[in-house]
Structure 1
Amino acid sequence: MRKVCFKSVLLLASLFCIFVTSNINAQDLQTAITLTRSEQYDEAEAAYNQIIQKEPNVSKNYFFLGENILLSYFADTISNSLKELTTQAKDVYLKGVNADSLNPLNYIGLSKVAFYLGQDQEAAKFRLKAKKNLPAYKKVSKILNPKDYAFALAKLAESYIRNEKVDTSKALPLLKEAINIDSKTPEIFIIAGDIYFLAKDGSNSIRNYNIANNLDKTRPTANMKIGSIYMKGRNLTAAIPYFEEAIKLNANYAPAYRELGLLWSMAGKYDKSKEYFKKYLEITKGNIPAKIRYVTALFYAKEYDEAVKNVEEIFSIDQKRTYLNRIAAYSSFEKNPPAYDKALAYMDKLFKDMPEDRIIQKDYTYYAKILLKKNSDYPKMVQNTEKLERDLARNQERYDAAKTADAKEKLKVQIDTLTNQITKFRKLISIDDVELDKAFLAYKKAHELTPEDKYLLNDVAVNLYNFKRFNESAKYFEKLIALGKNDANDYLQVGKAYNQGKNYVKADSALSILVQKFPDNIQGYVWIANTYSAMDPDNNKGIARPKFEMVIQKARMDSVKYASDLFNAYRFMGGDYFSQKNYVKAREYYYRIVNLSADNKDYKTIGYNSIGLTYYSNSEFDKAIEAYRKTLEIDPKNQNATISIKNVEIAKNNQVQVKPNEIKGLVKDVFGSPIASASVRVRDTAAEAWTNADGKYAFEIPEGSEALIVSAKGYKSKEVIITKARIYNISLEQQ
């Protein structure tokens, strides 16, 4: 008990000595604090350093210097480095602890630094030390220096603020205790107003600011903060009187002029906005730090051209402020229309001249976004190039099969044209790939700086997917799941990305987890079916069939909501049975397509055309014509049905005129849809036919022919052995 009592007395004595000693130099300290409140951080820092030089053992001075450093960071988070300024502040607070280890304030400062950096356990340790240096009391009247005791509690409450959020369960009890001890100090109510504002309690926030105002009607701070609340709520008319009152109280209160500049910019009154910004710069004597804050204000006001212009003006005076390339790059990116090349030039300059440890996460993310936007046509260019390559392969096959020199010459011209186009696009794609590699490397570095930033991870994953880097995209979606973002869509994104990247085993694994966790998620079953279809493209193993049957089972619970999923599943099942020549079963699914939606004409025409095809393939010509005519009743201009009817009638008329060496048939995809312009060629011969718009072909083959080679643009070629049959219906799988 003696030790505890002795320590409490020592703490009380220490606090008393601290605050009495600081009062000797109170006037100088108050001047420095006023400079901080006026956002003249450089001048304030110089003043604090002078005070510390005179009174190096007064720990309170170190605390306010550390506060000034942290506030200077939050005044300009674009130009400043959190790591650099928290390091500076920490050094100052540690000096304050060395000056007097019993003063709670510098421990509170250290807790803020740790908390800002995400070091929550370290922050808790420093808060505990601060509390231990605030001696316990039974009655408020027994506290030796209640004003400073309450101030420390309020600052301790403030230490629970991070990223514009606050832990009110910890902060509010401390504030209430502080107000209970001292209800006469405006600064405590200012802190209370700040905390309630972050807690989205505007009424209590304004109430506390008004109390602060009533306690000291000479200070502009509370009016300024009330005005800011109204401005953030876009109630500009209500905000103006508070800013004007702040200026009335202190005509040199620079922040009020800056806020009015922003306000009039938001209102579209740019002349008035510039007038107030001009006054702001006059009051701050046009110094570079003030102008930098002005540039930052312009950026947040979306005055991007003005922001870039002012950066260039600063560079003309002081080129050492490399970090301003950052805001110039951000502004060039955000302006309308964007100036991506200019933004990239500023970012390259920043990365070249700025030490790597001062590069912030936003630099990497903006750099990535600039490069991605600059190359936004990349996915379409890749898609078009792949189409050209398929066209080239098709024309090359035609060239090889051409029988005359004239035909070969015409095809050669097309082949050369396509080859030149592909070469040109592949060169452009190669150039873009270099920049895209840089973009995703920048994203990777941003992620390393903030590994738990879910918004960043999602942004990276989505962009990787959009730029066709599917497997990498899946890995970033998996990182999101590891961080707890594991709703149904997250697993679906992983499965889709692996599916597109042809990593079907991992796709199946992710999608299986999805349907296990969310058994009613239809898209999970749909993508499992798609994955198994891709694993067995010819459907030789039949592994996709039960998966599509499961889609049908689940989706039929709400056939309106999941109509498109049912359509695709029915189409697959119909095509599957069609390929087995089980036309009766195939028609069962095609009729389901017809009856799927009373208002969807596309479903009905595709269904009836598919039904007609089953009858045609089975030489049931009258029924085939009947099905095609039902299509025309729905869509009189349907070319597929019109041409098919003509072909069926020809086949019907020629049924008795079959030539002994003539073969015919239909080329279709796995869903049963006909493929036009497909090549059907007898292996090792020049005998070849091309399918019509309905996917049909017919030609005479040489005696002794052994096999057919069937190919089409965008599909895998297929070899079919020739038997005594004279009808060969062939199904091709997409590449």
Structure 2
Amino acid sequence: MNKFKIFTLGLMVATAAVQAQDLTEAKKAIDAEQFEKAKSLLKNIIKDNPKEGKASFLLGNVYLAQTVVDSAKLAYNSGLKAEDDANFNYIGLGQIDLNNKKVTEARSNFELAAKDMRRKDVEEFIYIGRAYLNAENPDCKSAITIINRALAIEPQNAEALLALGDAHYCDKNQNEAYKAYSSAYDADKTLLRAKMQMGVLLKGANSWEEAIKSYNEVIAVNPNYGPVYRELAETYYRWARNKPAKAGENMQKALTNYDKYMSLTDYSIHSRMRRADFLILIGDYKALETEANKMIELDKVNPRIYRYLGYAAYENGNVDVAIKSMNDFINNPDTKKIASDYMFLGLAKIKKGMAADQKSVDATAFNEGLGDIKKGIALDATMTDPISKEAKDLFGKRIFKEAALLFEFGANVKDSSNYLEDNLYFGLSAYYANVNADPKDMDLLKRGDAAFDRVLVAKPDYYEAFLYKARINSAMDNDAVMVTSYEKYLAAVNAKGAEEVSNPATKAKIIEAYNNMGASFANTDKAKAMEYFNKSLVLDPTNQYATESLKSLQQ
């Protein structure tokens, strides 16, 4: 009987050891972003040992990473019924609360998770910190506080140090983040994510070559560590955006590295969606369309695929498919909408309303599209790049009023990447839309005038803005501001020297300024008016407007 007891105990220890090993393998798969492998391992652990609560917690975390919230919630609630480590599942439920902006409920769940911790336990604190970081609206400082509680107990815990680095990175404290990542890697040389994150910091500082060098050091240790290729892809993408001279080459490297990342993770529907998101980021809509069609073969009901089809169809010129796909996605109550969803729907409607001669846009189609775009802006005011692109297309076709209304979105967002350009084009569009208009849209002209003021604040040496400001105020019959603006333009041009003044294009603008200033004083100060017209004739003795105006003033 005693021998039987010993054998049974030994079997239990062996089984526990296998399960612990499987849990370790699952954690490694999660870190490597091999989510389908991780899910398979965790489901097997739960099947073999329903008492294991931590496996349910980790499974829920994987589902949350894949934004499959219902499955995550099921996993956590199932894990709460387990006999071992059930408390971890309160952390997962707490993160769902954070995602739903239920902060009080989240903290209650975190307290339940930590309630029965032993004095030397730290893992719960680390995962609570991660929940604050992984929430849709991260709380960096709460994460730092709770992770430091773990480090107070176990100062050299590599996972805690890695989490602290992520928390400081979230809090935009690069120096503290680097210290924590370095300490984490020193504490555990197998923790490649810590070493990789040092490269991420360099990427964030726009040190592209140094970041790539850092990633290559990770690859030298383990060439099969998938996440490093994703970081390489994103680094090459950002380098391409910031250095146009090598944009083509670096965009190709970005895609090559992302494909390498995919090959080392999995080709599940969720992984393909991550790749689709990256294709949107780099603007490869032909590849996106191919990817979307492959996803349909894997999953004909996942509504998110319609988002990708809609984006790709719009960019590839098929507006009917774009409108249908985006409507199918947006009208599905189970989808989470983002700003670009409404943007692409609105832009597709505007493009659909373009007249056959490309000289006008149907008013109803434009207004419907504008309404959708406003819904997108309400979700993210900085999402202006695709709007600016369509606005430039309308501007090039001389459809100025509609172009102005689109440029205005980016013109009012200081953090927009197109802020300066959108303000300039908005002002120009507002002006050209009213040159021959009767009556003039005075409100649009005033907003255009304000746009030129913003241009001059953002770029004070762009003196051409004074010329445009003078023209728009002339259109509003605001002579005082017109004259002041022309004077500032003339002062800036003269400061450039004789070569600039003698440039034929510049000379024409100077004559324009003198003639308009002369006209503004014709009824109030004849001497000054004649002075400006004479200056105009010095530059162009045959100028008809100045000649006739002088004759009229001398009578």
Give the TM-score normalised by the residue count of structure 1. Answer: 0.51
Whether contact under 8 Å (1:192, 1:208) holds in the other structure is yes
Who is 1:396 aligned against? Answer: none
Structure 1 residue corresponding to 2:118, chosen from 144, 156, 162: 144
Who is 2:89 aligned against? Answer: 106
Structure with greater helix percent: 2
Who is 2:345 aligned against? Answer: 367
Q: Partner amino acid for 1:440?
A: L
Residues 162/443 of structure 1: CA separation in 2 closer, same or farther (3 Å cut)? farther
Whether contact under 8 Å (1:213, 1:219) holds in the other structure is yes
Structure 1 residue corresponding to 2:71, chosen from 67, 88, 97: 88
Residues 444/32 of structure 1: CA separation in 2 closer, same or farther (3 Å cut)? same
The alpha-carbon deviation at position 28 of structure 1 amounts to 2.4
The alpha-carbon deviation at position 192 of structure 1 amounts to 1.0
Structure 1 residue corresponding to 2:108, chosen from 128, 139, 152: 128
Q: Partner amino acid for 1:349?
A: S
Who is 2:305 aligned against? Answer: 324
- Looking at structure 1, the residues matched to 372 and 150 of structure 2 have their Cα atoms a distance apart, in angstroms, of 46
Who is 1:435 aligned against? Answer: 365
Who is 1:605 aligned against? Answer: 515
Identity of aligned residues (%): 21
Structure 2 residue corresponding to 1:38, chosen from 18, 24, 32: 32
Who is 1:60 aligned against? Answer: 54
- Looking at structure 2, the residues matched to 245 and 593 of structure 1 have their Cα atoms a distance apart, in angstroms, of 57
Who is 2:43 aligned against? Answer: 49
Q: Partner amino acid for 1:125?
A: E
**1:228 paired to 2:205:** no
**1:218 paired to 2:227:** no
**1:358 paired to 2:335:** yes
Structure 2 residue corresponding to 1:642, chosen from 544, 547, 552: 547
- Looking at structure 2, the residues matched to 467 and 97 of structure 1 have their Cα atoms a distance apart, in angstroms, of 60
The alpha-carbon deviation at position 280 of structure 1 amounts to 4.1
The alpha-carbon deviation at position 278 of structure 1 amounts to 5.4
Secondary structure of the corresponding residue to residue 161 of structure 1: helix
- Looking at structure 2, the residues matched to 313 and 648 of structure 1 have their Cα atoms a distance apart, in angstroms, of 76
CA deviation profile, 1:577-607 (whole Å, cap 9, x unmatched): xxxxxxxxxxxx9999999977765454345
**1:193 paired to 2:174:** no
Structure 2 residue corresponding to 1:311, chosen from 275, 292, 314: 292
Whether contact under 8 Å (1:104, 1:129) holds in the other structure is no
Residues 606/635 of structure 1: CA separation in 2 closer, same or farther (3 Å cut)? farther
- Looking at structure 2, the residues matched to 593 and 294 of structure 1 have their Cα atoms a distance apart, in angstroms, of 51
The alpha-carbon deviation at position 109 of structure 1 amounts to 2.0
The alpha-carbon deviation at position 54 of structure 1 amounts to 3.5
Whether contact under 8 Å (1:104, 1:131) holds in the other structure is no
CA deviation profile, 1:483-530 (whole Å, cap 9, x unmatched): xxxxxx9xxx9xx9xxx9x9x9x98xxx9xx9xxxxxxx969x9xxxx
Q: Partner amino acid for 2:71?
A: Q
Residues 347/231 of structure 1: CA separation in 2 closer, same or farther (3 Å cut)? farther
Q: Partner amino acid for 1:197?
A: Y
The alpha-carbon deviation at position 41 of structure 1 amounts to 1.6
Residues 467/357 of structure 1: CA separation in 2 closer, same or farther (3 Å cut)? farther
Aligned length: 472
- Looking at structure 2, the residues matched to 169 and 152 of structure 1 have their Cα atoms a distance apart, in angstroms, of 17
Whether contact under 8 Å (1:329, 1:347) holds in the other structure is yes
The alpha-carbon deviation at position 173 of structure 1 amounts to 2.2
Who is 2:144 aligned against? Answer: 172
Whether contact under 8 Å (1:38, 1:255) holds in the other structure is yes
- Looking at structure 2, the residues matched to 568 and 372 of structure 1 have their Cα atoms a distance apart, in angstroms, of 30
Whether contact under 8 Å (1:164, 1:198) holds in the other structure is no
- Looking at structure 2, the residues matched to 360 and 246 of structure 1 have their Cα atoms a distance apart, in angstroms, of 36
Q: Partner amino acid for 1:358?
A: T
- Looking at structure 2, the residues matched to 623 and 292 of structure 1 have their Cα atoms a distance apart, in angstroms, of 69
Secondary structure of the corresponding residue to residue 114 of structure 2: coil
The alpha-carbon deviation at position 442 of structure 1 amounts to 2.7
Whether contact under 8 Å (2:196, 2:214) holds in the other structure is yes
Whether contact under 8 Å (1:615, 1:624) holds in the other structure is yes
Q: Partner amino acid for 1:44?
A: A
- Looking at structure 1, the residues matched to 532 and 251 of structure 2 have their Cα atoms a distance apart, in angstroms, of 69
Secondary structure of the corresponding residue to residue 637 of structure 1: coil
Matches within 5 A, 1:517-536: none
Matches within 5 A, 1:213-362: 213-240=185-212, 242-247=214-219, 249-250=221-222, 252-260=224-232, 268=249, 276=257, 279-284=260-265, 286-315=267-296, 319-321=300-302, 323-330=304-311, 338-339=315-316, 341-342=317-318, 345-346=321-322, 348-352=324-328, 355-358=332-335, 360-361=337-338, 362=340
Give the gaps of 5 or more residues in structure 2. 1-14, 241-248, 392-398, 415-422, 454-464, 495-509
Give the gaps of 5 or more residues in structure 1. 1-20, 74-84, 137-142, 382-423, 481-488, 515-521, 527-559, 576-588, 617-621, 653-735
CA deviation profile, 1:682-730 (whole Å, cap 9, x unmatched): xxxxxxxxxxxxxxxxxxxxxxxxxxxxxxxxxxxxxxxxxxxxxxxxx
- Looking at structure 2, the residues matched to 625 and 223 of structure 1 have their Cα atoms a distance apart, in angstroms, of 74
Q: Partner amino acid for 1:442?
A: D
Whether contact under 8 Å (2:94, 2:110) holds in the other structure is no
Residues 347/30 of structure 1: CA separation in 2 closer, same or farther (3 Å cut)? farther
Residues 219/329 of structure 1: CA separation in 2 closer, same or farther (3 Å cut)? same
- Looking at structure 2, the residues matched to 473 and 261 of structure 1 have their Cα atoms a distance apart, in angstroms, of 31
Whether contact under 8 Å (1:22, 1:58) holds in the other structure is no
Secondary structure of the corresponding residue to residue 36 of structure 1: helix
The alpha-carbon deviation at position 181 of structure 1 amounts to 1.0
Residues 99/460 of structure 1: CA separation in 2 closer, same or farther (3 Å cut)? farther
Secondary structure of the corresponding residue to residue 146 of structure 1: coil
- Looking at structure 1, the residues matched to 119 and 327 of structure 2 have their Cα atoms a distance apart, in angstroms, of 51
Secondary structure of the corresponding residue to residue 160 of structure 1: helix
- Looking at structure 2, the residues matched to 272 and 249 of structure 1 have their Cα atoms a distance apart, in angstroms, of 21
CA deviation profile, 1:332-377 (whole Å, cap 9, x unmatched): 66xxxx53x23662452353378343152232222223444666xx
- Looking at structure 1, the residues matched to 84 and 268 of structure 2 have their Cα atoms a distance apart, in angstroms, of 37
The alpha-carbon deviation at position 274 of structure 1 amounts to 6.4
- Looking at structure 2, the residues matched to 443 and 168 of structure 1 have their Cα atoms a distance apart, in angstroms, of 31
- Looking at structure 2, the residues matched to 349 and 436 of structure 1 have their Cα atoms a distance apart, in angstroms, of 19
The alpha-carbon deviation at position 111 of structure 1 amounts to 2.6
Whether contact under 8 Å (2:312, 2:322) holds in the other structure is no
Give the TM-score normalised by the residue count of structure 2. Answer: 0.64
Secondary structure of the corresponding residue to residue 176 of structure 1: helix
The alpha-carbon deviation at position 320 of structure 1 amounts to 4.7
- Looking at structure 1, the residues matched to 28 and 58 of structure 2 have their Cα atoms a distance apart, in angstroms, of 11
Q: Could you say which structure has the larger radius of gyration?
A: 1
RMSD: 5.7
